[in-house]
Structure 1
Amino acid sequence: MKRFQLKFAFVLIAVFLLSGCWDRYELEERANILALSIDIAEEGEDIEMPEVTHSKGEFPAEEKIIYKVAAQLAVPGKIMLGPGGGDTNSAETDWLLVTYGYSMKDVLSNLQQELAEKIYLGHIQLIVVSDKIAKKGLEDIMDFLKRDYEVRRTAWIMITEGEAQEILNATPPVQTVPSLYLSGTLKDAVMFGKLPKEYLGKVWIDFSDVGVDAIIPLVKPMGDHILVDGLVYFKDYQMVGTLTPTETGAILAMQGINPAGYSNVIVPGDKKGVYLVKPFKRISKISVEIQDGKPKVLIDVKIEGFVEEQLYTNDLSKEKLQELEKSASELGEKALSSLMKRLQQDESDILGIGARVRAFYPKYWNENVKTEDDWREIYKDLDIQIKMDYKILRVGMEWK
């Protein structure tokens, strides 16, 4: 009898542990969202919201912001993942639906009422947010995305100045799926040294970590394609400024991220000629010390580069290269120092200097800083010295 009871108990436990795919949905039963654009609805728009999460006029919020969200859904069987594709265009591979709501979950609940299939976010490639929302703050949007277990940490989030929905309409003739083109553009920008690897998961970490502020790629619609227009930097969850592509290269240099993707225009000390010099290797060290009871920071950047082009002159002598190296070093130090002062004024610590202070000097942090707001006050007046050493190692096929 005891033996039978033991077997029965084992079978019962196995039933609970090996319950199978109880929440499984077939592919045909899913509405696979590939991309989302998030805007603020403008006054005068024809907004129609069904009574799904609340009755009409009864959403409990002091400031009611109506989100306008465009969802790009994949059409099953139409997306070609391999070579080929024939005459298939974006109108046949994806379906764009626009919905309104007071929050992200409210929006998707309203969207679900328009679809027969269950909404699935596991294939989402990117989320595009308008700068109007980013300036108000991304905390609510990030809260929803982090709570939804289907959202991939490797998805991209990007900011655009203007209407975010325009980004989802960008599809060059060589691509059939806008979301795949957009995510591929950012991946290639990382590979070519144009952007840091700021996936959604990395952005979440930066928003959550004490002593670090987040950066997010900035894009601009250009008709049937997009322009990677630099970075947006934040103070807490609020957008406080933008970085041009040139300034993005400066941030990558201070972070020591390779490969290097931006060329620089250099004028030598004698003002004869213009040279385009491209770095191919960056080495950076951010050192923090406590001196006289205050943190002092040294950012030491070493760059190795080569001459891509010379204009209005024909001189690549040893003396000229030494002048170019000196000019590049001085120009770099000046540009990086100016950029750091702007970041300090905006109280945005995107290099994570505060996290370094907290990690290496916990006693100082616990006694003098304590909170992130306290750190921002210290960070504004922080003594940050920048040193750059630029070496030109190659000049191409001509040496004169």
Structure 2
Amino acid sequence: MGVRQVAAGLLVVLLCLVTAGCWDRRELQERGFVMAVAIDLAEDGQAGGSALESYTRREGSKPLRLSVQVLKLTPSGGGSDQPKGEGKTYVLSNTGVAFHEMVRDMLGQTSKGLYFEHIQAILISEAVLREYSLKQMIDFWRRDAEMRWRTRIFVIPGEAREVLSFQPPTGEAGGIFLAGVARLYTRNMNIASAQTDLGAISQVLDAGGDAILPRLEYKDNKVKVNGLAVFKKDRFITYWDEYTIKGIRMIRGNLKSAVITLNCPLHPGYGVTFEMFRHNTILEPHVEGDKIYFTLNTAWRGNISEVACQQYHDTLDEKFQEKAEELLAEEITHNISYSLNIAQQAGVDPMNFARYLKAYEPETWNRIKDNWEDIYPTIPLYVKARVSIQNVGEHK
């Protein structure tokens, strides 16, 4: 082996020694893992606040209050020094005009650096969104490289900071629990959390679309994702209920499972429940001269999951199934029409009609885009719904 080969081998070994490990290594116990953040107006909840949760600014104005939920790390092994009944997180707060500045000033309240790589939820109070735009409230979170774009965003009717004190019955950190609730939208039509994380909302706002976010209620140490916060572009306007959410999700086609209950036409007060496990939904724009309209073809397949008046019916009977399929298709059509009417009256387009028209009929879009606000409420949607019952469960 020549001198050059030996020198090259030594150089490789030396480089391995120099570059081994992580250049920014920090021990786990030295990190303060932020699970969730809450944004409120500074004057809200000041009775429970502290003069320490602030800092001096030249102008003196501190209109916003940022609170962070930090994970408590407990020793590994068989035991834990954490008192029974105590939460797994603690909360830090600060007031100011810029979130980055508030985060840095919070380091005066903790012995651990705040680490946002695992943030799960951003909670924004309704009061804040009536004063500021949604873009202003998420700007820092989508610029910072530590943030994750799958972070869930919620709108809180009351004080957002209160939710950070929530102790989930599952024993996990509150931010993790809330993100888990949001992910269950695949099985719950009433949860409007499909495509409402930080990344999806950023794309909607960058494209000039209308944002929608799940509404989160907190009371007596209980939480529920309940309703939909509606935005015109990035300005909050109102809330919509669960029935409206269902229709919007039917149009958007982001359902993986769905449960629909009908009142039995022969036995009022009794319900027949259908569980959808597969669907094919196609939304298409059409242009005929000056007329613009949309069609929605949706085909659902699923099972009868419950019949409250089962003693009066043979669910294996073809006539029963055909009638149930007909009524279910009518209910789907009605729900879609109801939700579209609510959206068009508000001038909000969560179904992405504008995006579809721009993609499939670009010439028409270029011609009408300046008048879209006036045209959108007049656009009809023709719905064709079909339902196929595949099974009736383990018992007829």
Fold shared, TM-score > 0.5 on shorter chain: yes
Query: Which residue is 1:366 aligned to?
Result: 366
Spell out the pairing of 1:29-178 with structure 2 (5 A cutoff). Answer: 29-42=30-43, 45-46=46-47, 48=51, 50-51=54-55, 54-57=57-60, 59=61, 66-77=63-74, 91=86, 93-136=88-131, 137-178=133-174
Count of residues paired in the alignment: 376
Query: Which residue is 2:289 aligned to?
Result: 292
Query: Which residue is 1:307 aligned to?
Result: 304
Query: Which residue is 2:196 aligned to?
Result: 198
| Gap runs ≥5 in structure 2 | 1-14
Give the secondary structure class of the aligned counterpart of 2:251.
helix
Query: Which residue is 2:175 aligned to?
Result: 179
Give the AA of the match of 2:354.
Answer: G
Q: Distance in 2 between matches of 1:307 and 1:113?
A: 59
Q: Distance in 1 between matches of 2:168 and 2:180?
A: 12
Cα-to-partner distance string for 1:225-260 (whole Å, 9 max, x where unaligned): 321213323211122333333433332222223421
8 Å CA contact 1:100, 1:107 repeated in 2: yes
RMSD of the TM alignment (CA)?
3.5
Quickly say closer, same or farther: Cα 1:133–1:387, change in 2 above 3 A. Answer: farther
| Gap runs ≥5 in structure 1 | 1-13
Q: Distance in 2 between matches of 1:85 and 1:337?
A: 55
Q: CA deviation at 1:286?
A: 0.3
Q: Distance in 2 between matches of 1:35 and 1:334?
A: 38
Cα-to-partner distance string for 1:69-91 (whole Å, 9 max, x where unaligned): 221112234599xx998977673
TM-score using structure 2 length: 0.82
Query: Which residue is 2:6 aligned to?
Result: none
Query: Which residue is 2:321 aligned to?
Result: 321
Q: CA deviation at 1:381?
A: 1.7
8 Å CA contact 1:276, 1:309 repeated in 2: yes
Query: Which residue is 2:332 aligned to?
Result: 332
Give the secondary structure class of the aligned counterpart of 1:262.
strand
Quickly say closer, same or farther: Cα 1:305–1:241, change in 2 above 3 A. Answer: farther
Give the AA of the match of 1:199.
Answer: D
Query: Which residue is 1:381 aligned to?
Result: 378
Give the secondary structure class of the aligned counterpart of 1:73.
strand
1:229 corresponds to 2:226: yes
Query: Which residue is 2:346 aligned to?
Result: 346
8 Å CA contact 1:90, 1:178 repeated in 2: no
Give the secondary structure class of the aligned counterpart of 2:46.
coil
Residue in structure 1 matching 2:260, options 245, 258, 263: 263
Cα-to-partner distance string for 1:133-174 (whole Å, 9 max, x where unaligned): 234431211111111111111211111221222322222333
Query: Which residue is 1:243 aligned to?
Result: 240
Q: Distance in 1 between matches of 2:362 and 2:270?
A: 51
TM-score using structure 1 length: 0.81
Q: CA deviation at 1:336?
A: 1.2
Greater shift after overlay, 193-202 or 290-299? 193-202
Q: Distance in 2 between matches of 1:85 and 1:191?
A: 36
Give the AA of the match of 1:180.
Answer: I
8 Å CA contact 2:212, 2:228 repeated in 1: yes
8 Å CA contact 1:257, 1:282 repeated in 2: no
8 Å CA contact 2:67, 2:93 repeated in 1: yes
